[in-house]
Chains A and B, each alone.
Chain A
Amino acid sequence: MTFIDWATRVSTRFLSDRAFELIVGPAIADYEYEQCSVRSIDAARARLAVLRALAGAAWTDLKADSSTGTLFTLTLIPASYFTFMFALCAPRGIRVFSSTEAAIAFVIAILLLSPIPVIACCWPERGENPKTQIPSSKSQ
């Protein structure tokens, strides 16, 4: 699977038609154009630009609809699960951490892990995207 195929698949699952058409689509088109052009490019930076466009489009979609509150509430479920598991497995509680940095790292790990199941399972359907009709992308 090429990078463009992957970006398109992710967009199909997570983004609205409008967000794809106005944000990710142009980013991918410019990326493909750059790949075909003769000018020297930094491939990593070009890919990063597409990824940032993807993240920006997802954020725009989240701001535009009412699902943000629901997703946040659902995120609290795995967060609570991880915290209670920690409380059960570490009877000494927070004293198990040798330093403040270790405690902060634990909190950050929970904050990073908790949204993953919510995003994977509960991200709202965005409907059919027009990109299913897009001519096949160039292989990267």
Chain B
Amino acid sequence: MKESRLPSMSVTESLILDLLRARERYGLELVDTSGGRLKRGSIYVTLSRMEAKGFVESWQEERPPGAIGLPRRLYRATDYGLKVHDAYQLLREALALKPAEAR
């Protein structure tokens, strides 16, 4: 039987999916709304990794013609990402229980 690998999700990834649950956001917006829990320097690497895992999807914002600079990137949680997030949430809560409480 072929063994399927379980997806991994770090606490930071979990937090990002929490923030993206309601609506799509920019990277900088995620940092601002996280209350210091997300760092500007590493957020883009984390988001890129999450996109590779299929947890988020992203696209460039639409801009009026003639706008200068790079278009910003918007991020949205995928259904799969939220599903894994919820599963991990349950797992973390279950593992946080003491053995007596878990019975």
Task: Name the interface residues of A23-51: CB closer than 8 Å to any CB of B.
Answer: 23-30, 32-34, 36, 45-46, 48-49, 51
Contact (Cβ within 8 A) A29 B69: yes
Task: Name the interface residues of B19-69: CB closer than 8 Å to any CB of A.
Answer: 26-28, 40-42, 44-45, 47-49, 51, 58, 67-69
What number of A residues sit within 8 Å (CB to CB) of B?
A: 32
**Known pairs A34-B28, A52-B41, A53-B44; A22 contacts B58 (CB<8 A):** yes
Contact (Cβ within 8 A) A26 B41: no
Show 25 A/B contacts (Cβ-Cβ < 8 Å), sorted by A: A22-B48, A22-B58, A23-B45, A26-B26, A26-B58, A27-B27, A27-B44, A28-B70, A29-B69, A29-B70, A29-B71, A29-B72, A32-B70, A33-B69, A49-B40, A51-B41, A52-B40, A53-B41, A53-B45, A56-B41, A56-B42, A134-B70, A135-B67, A137-B68, A138-B68
